[in-house]
Structure 1
Amino acid sequence: MAENKWDAQRYAQNARFVSNLGMPVVELLAPVSGESILDLGCGDGALTAKLAALGVHVFGIDSSQSMITAAAQRGLPVALADMHDFHLNRIFDAVFTNAVLHWTQDIHATVASVQRHLHAGGRFVGEFGGFGNIAAIATAIRAAVELEGAPQPTFSWYYPTPSEFKAVLDAHGFDTISIELIPRPTPLPTGMSGWLRTFAQPFGDGLPAEVQERILDRAVTLLQPALQDKEGNWVADYVRLRFHAVQRPAISGA
């Protein structure tokens, strides 16, 4: 699947629920006033601003220029950076991330970048899509593409089990304090069409616009029996993986 071309305005319109539902992860982070915290994949800065309001020295990075521009307009200190390989010339007491890691193309590179930006004993806390996330939506997209006779998309979302992600954390020197899958059917304020146009946009890259529209319409129709209630309200079949890890102290040589 090609890279998603994020648009801050469209994201705010169709996906503000992402940051609105992020406060339990902030609570798990338990930020302390005066701490330095990196917001990995800060988006338009909605949650970054909430961290700043708690008195921490927060800094945000994101790979989307549109998102970084929107975050900077909030008066937040942010920078354009790739989560797979970033170098900020500073280290933090904690790294926070919400709804970002499932977009990684190389989870080991991403976690290694996090690790080298943390103080000894620093916290890595976040939430992202876990095993089983949007299973119905992905199946409907595949079915709609097949019905249209178009090439099948390659979904590269990273949705691990807790044990899979714990192994990654362990490999990069983290002790896992907590990790769990949380089924979370999530209301979609602008419906399934708005969700698909925001998050599944890359699957149609290279296809004519009219073909993309037919695929979207077919996917919405296929999903109606499972994810739309009798009043016309939509939910996404989200399953989130929430974690809290601490960087292991370095073992000094004899």
Structure 2
Amino acid sequence: MPDPATPAAGQVWSAQGYAANAGFVPLLAADLLDTLAPQPGEAILDLGCGDGVLTARIAAAGASVTGLEPDPALAAAARARGIAVLERDAHQPFGAAAYDAVFSNAALHWMRAPETVHANIARALRPGGRLVAEQGGFGNIAAIVTAMKAALQAERLPERARNPWDFPSPTLQRERLERAGLQVTEMRLFPRPTPLPTGMAGWLETFAGPFLLGLPEQTRARVLERALALLSDLQDPREGWIADYVRLRFTAVKPG
């Protein structure tokens, strides 16, 4: 049973759906591994490892890598790749001075109490250890969020018309990390217009759960249809659907 004290974005995952509709997520952040530069023998935690695609690449570099993933389906997919997985929520402590590095891609924006997570990261790192992460940043998928809000308000569901994700500005994220006791060494916000291989409908099927969870099927269908109509300007006649991604990439070290 979910812990009521743990903040949640309200997302339910499908490992198969994620692979089909969101396989671009680990691919687009592959160069983040160059920043991590995993070394043989290092103890590394992949926070929010998902189905383990990038985690397996960290392991291939010779590091001793552990994934952290709260969703049972995604954790099982990561284990199927041979990854050791802590099946828990990052809002709960996950180690003390246990890791040389914490890596995270496209996971931190799902966490509703980021300062708690940052404190847990700082606690889990050894002195001199590093955090290497990328997440949605300020302005990420703004058009998609606005369309979903408008579609929900049209159904007289204003209580659902809020952004379920955490997309901070560089200034805010730097302040948070420093309060956790980490020294920021890089902080960069940049646009990444992202082609969607299964279109906007596939993206919404995979990621829009926090807006739609528990709605009757007919209401859900109307919301998605209206949102897709509002988002039509993100569909290029030649290149297809393009999501308005903005990413926040940062590194930090634990003094010591």
How far is 1:21 from its partner?
A: 1.0
Partner of 1:208 in structure 2? 216
Partner of 1:240 in structure 2? 247
Q: 1:190 aligns with which of 190, 193, 198?
A: 198
Instruction: State how 1:56-205 maps to structure 2 within 5 Å.
Output: 56-88=63-95, 91-153=98-160, 154-205=162-213
Indicate the SS of the match to 1:23.
coil
Q: Does 2:7 correspond to 1:15? A: no
Indicate the SS of the match to 1:145.
helix
Give deviations 1:159-209, integer Å, cap 9, x for gaps.
111010001111111111110101000110000011011111121223211
Q: What amino acid is aligned across from residue 116 of structure 1 in structure 2? A: R
Identity over the aligned pairs, expressed in percent? 48
How far is 1:214 from its partner?
A: 1.1
Q: What amino acid is aligned across from residue 188 of structure 2 in structure 1? A: E
Q: 2:37 aligns with which of 30, 35, 38?
A: 30
How far is 1:146 from its partner?
A: 2.2
In 1, the alpha carbon distance for the partners of 2:159 and 2:25 equals: 28
Give deviations 1:114-169, integer Å, cap 9, x for gaps.
11111101000110000000000001111112223333413231111101000111
In 2, the alpha carbon distance for the partners of 1:103 and 1:23 equals: 20
Name the stretch that deviates more: 140-149 or 127-136.
140-149
- Equivalenced residue count is 248
Name the stretch that deviates more: 117-126 or 23-32.
23-32
In 2, the alpha carbon distance for the partners of 1:166 and 1:133 equals: 18
Whether contact under 8 Å (2:46, 2:68) holds in the other structure is yes
Whether contact under 8 Å (2:10, 2:213) holds in the other structure is no
Whether contact under 8 Å (1:44, 1:71) holds in the other structure is yes
In 1, the alpha carbon distance for the partners of 2:138 and 2:73 equals: 29
Using the size of structure 1 for normalisation, the TM-score is 0.94
Q: Structure 1 residues 193 and 152, CA, compared in 2 at 3 Å: closer, same or farther?
A: farther
Q: What amino acid is aligned across from residue 246 of structure 1 in structure 2? A: V
Q: What amino acid is aligned across from residue 15 of structure 2 in structure 1? A: A
In 2, the alpha carbon distance for the partners of 1:90 and 1:70 equals: 27
Give deviations 1:102-121, integer Å, cap 9, x for gaps.
01111111011111111101
Q: What amino acid is aligned across from residue 118 of structure 2 in structure 1? A: V
Give deviations 1:36-81, integer Å, cap 9, x for gaps.
1100000000000011111111100111011101111111111201
Q: 1:220 aligns with which of 205, 213, 228?
A: 228
Q: 1:50 aligns with which of 49, 57, 78?
A: 57
